[in-house]
């Protein structure tokens, strides 16, 4: 009976050794898998952070997400400078079309030199063309000034600005948007049409207006006549305003024509005369009328002479819109 008891005592010792061995194997496997996982994670992290080419982001607000796909889009230009840059870029792209890919470093250098030369030649041609256009415009301006030019004007002269405007309202200009100038020389007004033009265009203009205005006579100014008129105008401007017969013209016409326009009333006579002289420079006959009001004297500025109240009202409306002056149509006492 003693031998079986000894066998039973040895069984637990053998099981303990087997269990201990299995435990150590399990621990060894866990350590192996842990080491393998750590190495793999470290290897993947290095692969993720690896950058083939460095790049620089100029804006501090820009962010980059590696999980998103990078899409390169063409720029959209909005300013004139951007359009010019785009135009030069297109020139550069055109010069690079159908280029043979470089085989060696020397070939690559040669291609770059050829491309730069082509771009420089195209850009130079652009600037040369621009300079040629500018030069042609300058030459055309010089030719226009030095060549013979003519200007059309009415043969009739007018004693006042109002009479000249009345004549222009009667004329039929057809479809022409024709500008005209009132020229005051030797105390009379003349109507000049448009700007100086060549003889062919002037003949067409004269025929066009003559067919629509059979009772109106025109005269032609040569280049010399235009220069003489300009010189006389500059000479008239240099004269003293006090020597110009504005008051005399106004009073001479006031004896026959009663309606006028009052444009201001002043307590200071010098202020009234300043406005009177200003209106005469604009082509109006003018005078200052003094009127006693109790202990004060009012100096009223009168402009123009009109045969009817309707003519005076039309002129007053035009004067109010152009010079922003208070207007009042009245008769001359």
Question: Is the pLDDT at 299 greater than 90, yes or no?
Answer: yes
The pLDDT value given to residue 246: 56
Tokens of 234: 């500059």
The pLDDT value given to residue 121: 56
* Total residues belonging to the chain: 333
Ranked by mean pLDDT, the top range of 128-137, 155-164, 174-183 is 155-164
Question: Is the pLDDT at 272 greater than 60, yes or no?
Answer: yes
Sign, CA dihedral 250-252-254-256, equals negative
**Could you read off the pLDDT of 86-114 as tens digits, one per residue?**
444 454 444 444 444 444 444 444 444 44
The pLDDT value given to residue 301: 92
Q: Whole-prediction pTM value?
A: 0.31
For the chain, give the percent of residues with pLDDT over 90: 8
Residue of 203, 111, 117 lying closest to 152 (CA atoms): 203
Give ranges for CATH 3.30.70.1070 in the chain: 241-331
**Could you read off the pLDDT of 215-261 as tens digits, one per residue?**
889 988 888 888 888 888 777 666 544 444 457 778 878 878 889 99
Contact 209/216 with Cβ under 8 angstroms?
yes
More reliable by pLDDT, 125 or 38: 38
Fold of 241-331: Alpha-Beta Plaits (3.30.70)
Instruction: Return the CATH number of the domain spanning residue range 150-237.
Output: 3.30.70
Pair type for strands 180-185 and 188-197: antiparallel
Distance CA 48, CA 118 (A): 43
Residue of 182, 193, 192, 181 lying closest to 160 (CA atoms): 182
DSSP state letters, 14-45: HHHHHHHHHHHHHHHHHHHHHHHHHHHHHHHH
User: If DSSP codes are grouped into helix, strand and coil, which group holds residue 70?
Assistant: coil
Q: What is the CA radius of gyration of the chain?
A: 49
**Residue whose token pair is 């200007």:** 151
Q: What is the residue-averaged pLDDT of the chain?
A: 72
The pLDDT value given to residue 302: 92
**Could you read off the pLDDT of 198-209 as tens digits, one per residue?**
888 888 888 899
**Could you read off the pLDDT of 147-168 as tens digits, one per residue?**
578 888 898 999 888 888 888 8
Pair type for strands 180-185 and 259-266: unpaired
DSSP state letters, 266-296: ESSHHHHHHHHHHHHHTT--EEEEEEEETTE
Residue of 317, 260, 258 lying closest to 284 (CA atoms): 260
Tokens of 142: 């010089």
Tell me the CA distances in angstroms from 295 to 243, 264, 273, one per residue in order. 32, 20, 21
Please report which helix (H) or strand (E) contains residue 135, including its range.
helix 105-146
Out of 35-49, 267-281, 284-298, least confident range: 35-49
**Could you read off the pLDDT of 32-46 as tens digits, one per residue?**
888 888 888 777 766
């Amino acid at each position: 009976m003693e031998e079986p008891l000894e066998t039973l005592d040895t069984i637990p010792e053998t099981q303990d050794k087997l269990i201990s061995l299995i435990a150590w194997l399990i621990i060894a496997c866990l350590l192996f898998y842990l080491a393998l996982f750590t190495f793999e994670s470290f290897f993947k992290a290095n692969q993720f952070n690896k950058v083939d080419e460095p790049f620089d982001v100029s804006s501090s607000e820009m962010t980059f997400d590696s999980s998103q796909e990078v899409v390169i889009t063409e720029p959209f230009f909005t300013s004139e400078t951007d359009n010019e840059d785009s135009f030069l870029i297109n020139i550069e792209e055109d010069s690079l079309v159908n280029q043979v890919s470089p085989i060696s470093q020397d070939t690559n250098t040669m291609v770059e030199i050829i491309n730069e030369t082509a771009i420089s030649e195209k850009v130079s041609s652009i600037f040369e063309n621009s300079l040629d256009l500018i030069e042609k415009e300058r030459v055309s301006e010089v030719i226009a000034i030095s060549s013979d030019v003519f200007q059309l004007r009415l043969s009739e002269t007018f004693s006042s600005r109002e009479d000249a405007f009345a004549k222009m309202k009667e004329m039929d200009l057809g479809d022409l948007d024709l500008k005209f100038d009132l020229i005051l020389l030797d105390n009379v007004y003349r109507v000049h049409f448009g700007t100086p033009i060549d003889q062919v265009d002037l003949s067409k203009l004269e025929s066009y207006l003559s067919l629509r205005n059979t009772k109106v006579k025109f005269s032609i100014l040569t280049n010399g006549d235009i220069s003489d008129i300009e010189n006389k105008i500059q000479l008239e401007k240099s004269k003293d305003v006090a020597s110009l017969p504005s008051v005399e013209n106004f009073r001479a016409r006031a004896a026959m024509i009663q309606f006028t326009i009052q444009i201001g009333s002043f307590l200071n006579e010098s202020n009234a005369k300043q406005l009177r002289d200003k209106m005469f420079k604009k082509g109006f006959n003018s005078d200052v009328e003094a009127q006693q009001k109790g202990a004060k004297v009012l100096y009223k500025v009168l402009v123009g002479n009109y045969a009817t109240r309707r003519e005076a009202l039309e002129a007053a409306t035009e004067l109010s819109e152009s010079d922003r002056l208070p207007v009042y149509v009245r008769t001359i006492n």
